[in-house]
Chains A and B, each alone.
Chain A
């Protein structure tokens, strides 16, 4: 990284943090700190909702995923627009009606205190751990590739977020997210433009798509009904719908974004804005990855992208050296086939020839990764997270590398800020203020909220620093999140749709549903996208049964 890159990176992040802190420096009441004085316009809410969801991993891993398997991942988002409509129709009016600070306040209004504390606690456990991972996951990849110190990187990202989130609360989070989103979208458009400019003469956008299409990278939609296939249109529509419903309807890190709306209309339009633009934004990120694939069709592609292994030690082994040599020969052959493919007078067999080379290369790469994993451990079995970053570092001009790193760090900061703000509001409003006997003055409430935000920030940093010590921790936390989500959503859906159900019935049903979901996780291989739908079904079944039993008992 050159001095110019450091300058671009520091100036971009410094401006965002400085502006956000200065603009929102006066916070005098809890209303102002956690709901931004209910002054946010719909477009601020929409951008804030999108920026909270877009984590650094979105920008690091998604292009790598497209490099490997094309556009198919987009199906995961098909349920999202439908969930936005559902949340706008059924959830937001209730939050406005009861004037809540957290989504879980609604649960007490509808059921009772113990149910509210249960779902709020589930949220705090899951999101508290996730906040650490939001910082750790990009930091470990950046440090691996750039040689930065892991602990310094984690502490720097964490402290930058803490500065404005503690000082300005919800308004600081959304003000900074406007700029962070502009950096993210602008940076990805620049990445697409630069990649197109790096393609050989005579290869434009249409030719690049022809090459990508020939290797099946543009097959976005899978119509098969197959429960073992992770991304199909059906798992995307149904599983993605329930996942988005839990995330946007009941997760405080998202609910907190739209509760600060100027009016019910602004909150709704903000979510619908997300429903309109989420899929196009994800297509753009996937497209960047597909263009990187096309770039490496015309430029010799490495067989393996993870830079942590000593390449010379790998090449010294005869099996690896042979695989690399075979790969280089095939890469040259595929390049020739690609030029033949985009030639207007291409022979009819050009597609098939290209496909054969491409499949052979994919098989060689897979073989190589298996050999590396057998030697060094299963964490080295995949290298797709390193594709996009290592490509940028090697091929992008000076200055723009800094911009793309600003994209990744902005994404990490925007989602961490939303999480810290939500963790603080749930801790303060659902527990500390709710369970306290004497009321606190406005100014002490704000001071308490700032202190708790700081505390959660320090917990996230501390957790991120220790994350590398535990094997497969990220995976464990992600699984834990998906195990709780469905039950929380089930509690809300029963509350909204079934007036007869009481607090105790929903509480014990939630405990039972959680036990069944954990049992399913331990005994089956079911995809995590399905847990949300199943938990909702269980919640309706169990509350219905308890209601029936209590009515029989009363007779």
Chain B
């Protein structure tokens, strides 16, 4: 199927990727907090 013929995907089909990005953000914050707790 050509890209322009694709229907606009609904949010649900992308949930896994979005969760991954949010998870990474949380992981980043946790790692930074851990760094401070260990060495700060």
Contact = CB atoms under 8 A, between A and B. Distances in A.
The answer to whether A and B interact is yes
Interface of A: 38, 71, 74, 78, 81-82, 84-85, 88-89, 93-94, 96-97, 99, 209-210, 212-213, 216, 218-221, 261-264, 268-269, 272, 275-276, 279-280, 283
A209 B35 contact: yes
Nearest to A282: B28
Q: Which label, helix, strand, loop or mixed, suits the secondary structure of the B interface?
A: helix
Contacts of A89: 11, 14, 18
A275 B6 CA distance: 24
B37 to A, nearest CB: 9
Interface string B4-36: 101011010010011011101100110011011
Contacts of B36: 213, 218-221
Interface of B: 3-4, 6, 8-9, 11, 14, 17-18, 20-22, 24-25, 28-29, 32-33, 35-36, 38-40
A209 B11 CA distance: 42
B21 A81 contact: yes
B16 to A, nearest CB: 11
B4 A99 contact: yes
A218 B10 CA distance: 41
27 contacts: A71-B35, A78-B25, A78-B29, A81-B25, A84-B21, A85-B18, A88-B18, A89-B14, A93-B9, A94-B8, A96-B3, A96-B8, A213-B39, A213-B40, A218-B36, A218-B40, A219-B40, A220-B35, A221-B33, A262-B3, A263-B3, A263-B6, A264-B3, A268-B17, A272-B20, A275-B24, A276-B24
A481 B6 CA distance: 35
Contacts of B11: 89
Contact of B6 (A74, A96, A216, A219): A96
Given A93-B8, A97-B8, A85 B21 contact: yes
Given A212-B39, A218-B39, A218-B40, 12 more contacts: A88-B17, A89-B11, A96-B4, A209-B35, A210-B39, A219-B36, A220-B32, A220-B33, A262-B3, A272-B17, A275-B25, A279-B28
Given A82-B25, A97-B8, A269 B17 contact: yes
A264 B17 contact: no
Nearest to A78: B25
Contact of A209 (B8, B14, B28, B39): B39
B7 to A, nearest CB: 9
Contacts of B38: 209, 213
Contacts of A71: 32, 35
Contacts of B22: 81-82, 85
Residue with the highest number of chain A CB atoms closer than 10 Å, among B4, B38, B40: B40
